[in-house]
Structure 1
């Protein structure tokens, strides 16, 4: 597996009735971000792009770039199916928090 490949793709859509698109790698995420309209770019966009570029340069993991990209997609209002599969955290072994009276 390519070190820039996402273990779990980011699935996105522009909403109900629009096709689902899968982004499978840092390179695909970078291309998607570079095509994003300049007038709609902001701090979250810049963070996602910088994370993808850092991953391409070997300074950040593909998983970290994926998380940043998925966050950008979510905040941008696109429907995102962000099932993390093996990355899901199981909290069943933790004790419940005590509530103060």
Structure 2
């Protein structure tokens, strides 16, 4: 398995009724982020972009970049409704922090 490939894809949907797109790895996530409209690039976008760049430079794992990209997709309402992340102890803390 390629070190930049995600263990499971991030499923995104651009709009209701639109086809679901699977983002399978860091390179695909980076390509998606580079096409994101400049006027909609905020701190969550920047975090996801930085994490993908760090994974490409072997400074971060692909799974850490996946978590950042998934957060970006969730906040921008692109994350497919059928996609649910397992709630391990690490995710519970970040999910709690986002709800506060």
Bin of the TM-score, shorter chain as denominator length: 0.7 to 0.9
Q: What is the total number of aligned residue pairs between the two structures?
A: 88
Deviation at 1:49, TM superposition (A): 0.1
CA–CA separation in structure 2 for the residues paired with 1:70 and 1:79: 7
CA RMSD of aligned residues (A): 1.7
CA contact (8 A) 1:55 1:62 kept: yes
5+ long unaligned stretches in structure 2: 90-100
Structure 2 length as normaliser, TM-score? 0.81
Deviation at 1:14, TM superposition (A): 1.9
CA contact (8 A) 1:8 1:83 kept: no
Higher helix share: 2
Deviation at 1:62, TM superposition (A): 0.2
Structure 1 length as normaliser, TM-score? 0.80
